[in-house]
Amino acid sequence: MIELIPAIDIIGGQCVRLTKGDYKAKTVYSTNPADTARQFESLGFKRLHVVDLDGAKSRHIVNHDVLRAITSTTNLIVDFGGGIKTDEDIETAFECGAAMVTVGSVAVTSPDLFTGWIQKYGADRLILGADVRNGMVSINGWKEDTTTPLLPFLRYYVEQGVKNVLCTDISRDGTLSGPATELYTEVMRAYPMLHLIASGGVSSNDDIIQLDRHGIPSVVFGKAFYEGKIDINQLLRTWD
């Protein structure tokens, strides 16, 4: 049974969505992310994925007050990412109520720091962010492409004890063009022990059903919800 995780992306304290990670292609869906989080909770969701896009761009947490507003007014299990580059950043995220933290860029640029966080906080509280463009990992708010292929990147961190991976196909994110099911299936085939969270491109209930049929453990969706492309009540009935 696939886990359903709605997403809130934050720029300037507002709930937004980008297209393919382009900060110039921004749509604002709410001026109050905490209200949006409470709406998700009222619908019956238990988890929430929150991304500080300002933080990802600035390379340090920016919207920690928004995170605190969400966690202090809901009982949602919140995972938070974007701009977590230092010990201070990760401590701030946990202090502001994040149950889990998603880390991507640091895992590429400072692997010793990230593995130290795994040892300090435990693998259950950390999610490895693996943002992919053309098969290679991308970092710093998707602004920089690397020459690091996805599967070897994952292999290294599986060996370090990582259990949770959020994989986003950047080319599909915010496009409503359907998820990269083949990519996620390839990851699960290589590393079936991972709790993989698929992200990017979800456009309909059927997309989520297909991911479930392919054995993908979790899915994040945002734009499809905000634009009424998915039937939330039907989804929750299906996976209740």
State the catalytic residue, choosing from 131, 173, 207, 212. 131
In the prediction, which pLDDT does 234 show?
87
* Token reading at 157: 């961190």
Residue 233 is predicted with a pLDDT of: 86
Give mean pLDDT, residues 64-75: 98
Q: How confident is the model at residue 21 (pLDDT cuts 50, 70, 90)?
A: confident
Helices 150-159 and 181-190, packing angle to 10 deg = 40
**102: its two tokens:** 């998603």
Taken in order 170, 172, 176, 181, is the CA torsion positive or negative? negative
Report how far residue 35's alpha carbon sits from residue 25's, in angstroms, rounded to the nearest whole number: 23
Q: For 180, list phi and psi in degrees, rounded to 5.
A: -85, 70
**pLDDT, tens digit, 9 for 90 and up, residues 89-111:** 999 999 999 999 999 999 999 99
Res 160: pLDDT = 96
pTM of the model: 0.94
pLDDT in tens, 133-172: 988 998 876 677 889 999 999 999 999 999 999 999 988 8
Which residue has better confidence, 145 or 42?
42
Q: In whole angstroms, what is the distance from residue 14 CA to residue 34 CA?
A: 10
pLDDT at site 205 = 95
pLDDT in tens, 70-83: 999 999 999 999 99
The answer to whether the CB of 162 falls within 8 A of the CB of 123 is yes
Angle (CA) 172-235-34 rounded to 5° is 75
The average confidence (pLDDT) of the chain is 94
Active site residue 231: no
Element spanning 100, H or E: strand 100-103
CB atoms within 10 A of CB 189: 10
Q: How many CB atoms within 10 Å of residue 95?
A: 11
Asked if pLDDT for residue 24 goes beyond 90, the answer is no
How high is the pLDDT of residue 140? 73
| Phi, psi torsion values for 79, nearest 5 degrees | -105, 140
Q: Is 79 a catalytic residue?
A: no
